[in-house]
Amino acid sequence: MLEFKVIETGDKAWADSLLKFSDFRGAEYCFTNLFIWDGIYKSKIGRYKDFLLLRTGDNQEYHYLYPAGRGDIREVVELMIEDSQKYDQKLSMISLTNEAKAEMEDLFPGKFEFTLVKNSFDYIYESEKMITLSGKKLQPKRNHINFFQNNYNWSYEDFTPDKIDEVTNFNLEWCKSSDCHKYETLMWESCAVEKCLSHYQELGVKGGILRVDNKIVAYTVGEPISSDTIIVHIEKAFSDYRGAYPMINREFASRIAPGYKFINREDDIGDEGLRKAKESYYPAFMLEKFHAKLF
């Protein structure tokens, strides 16, 4: 029998230890993301032996994160099937990579229907490219950065806990200028960002702040997600400061990414503007994800 509970920061230590066993690069396999988005997705966390489990939604429609950890994957999936049956549902699993899909096809041949979910594909970049911005394709990014460096009295600093209130105020100002209240996805994100900033120290994330004339014009938050990948959770900048976005991106990457091969900048949630922004950095590859539904 599986048990699920509300996600608390006190769950981070054991959750992180189980996530390390799988070493997944996907954005869903990071405790910070599970915690800050739980209200939006109605998520509950669980543990079975050495597997981390997540169930989203309600008893009208549940979805289960493909388990992370180590052990008998068949056993835990069979328990997930039983758990979903308690609510008269067929198991629905999310965020399966190509490797996880192949494993399910091998263990449960012909039992699942698999669907690609393109809006959930993560954009994965080479860390070195994000730091150096080398090559002809990224020349426009270097041009924006050069403009920023030559036209503003700027400084970069680490986002330390004593700056939480200042960053929170910046975030409120950014939301107001971006009309967050008009867009559902921005409202959701605003809730997640607020929760991240409120628990910044407990989550153990790292961040960077970009200033012009001592005023915050951009900030970012991220952390290692696997043995070779950094994930960026938040990146906000005032777009009227030309070059602020590529500048905070590069400065943060140059400090957090050395020693890691990739940077995961998460998905585009199907937003056209976000898609174009992420594509403009030319990802090394897209981390494909499948939805699996029991027949």
**What is the Cα–Cα distance from 58 to 92, expressed in whole angstroms?**
13
Task: Indicate the helix (H) or strand (E) that contains 262.
Answer: strand 262-264
Structural domain spans, the chain:
9-121, 122-266
Query: What topology is assigned to 9-121 in CATH?
Result: Aminopeptidase (3.40.630)
Fold agreement (9-121, 122-266): yes
Confidence at residue 8, expressed as pLDDT on a 0 to 100 scale = 98
Complete DSSP assignment for 90-143: --EEEEE-HHHHHHHHHHSTTTEEEEE-GGGPEEEEEHHHHHH--SGGGHHHHH
- What is the pTM assigned to this prediction? 0.96
Report mean pLDDT in 10-residue bins for the chain, 295 residues.
97 98 98 97 98 95 98 98 97 98 98 97 98 97 98 98 97 93 90 97 98 98 98 97 98 98 96 94 98 98
Query: Which residue, among 277, 214, 220, 275, has the nearest Cα to 253 in the 3D structure?
Result: 220
Q: What is the pLDDT of residue 25?
A: 98
Q: What pLDDT shows up at residue 112?
A: 98
* Residue 183: predicted pLDDT: 87
- φ/ψ region of 284 (left if φ > 0, alpha if ψ in -120 to 50, else beta) reads alpha
Q: Given this model, what pLDDT does residue 218 score?
A: 98
**CATH assignment of 122-266, among 3.30.420.130, 3.40.50.300, 1.10.150.170, 3.40.630.30:** 3.40.630.30
pLDDT of residue 99: 97
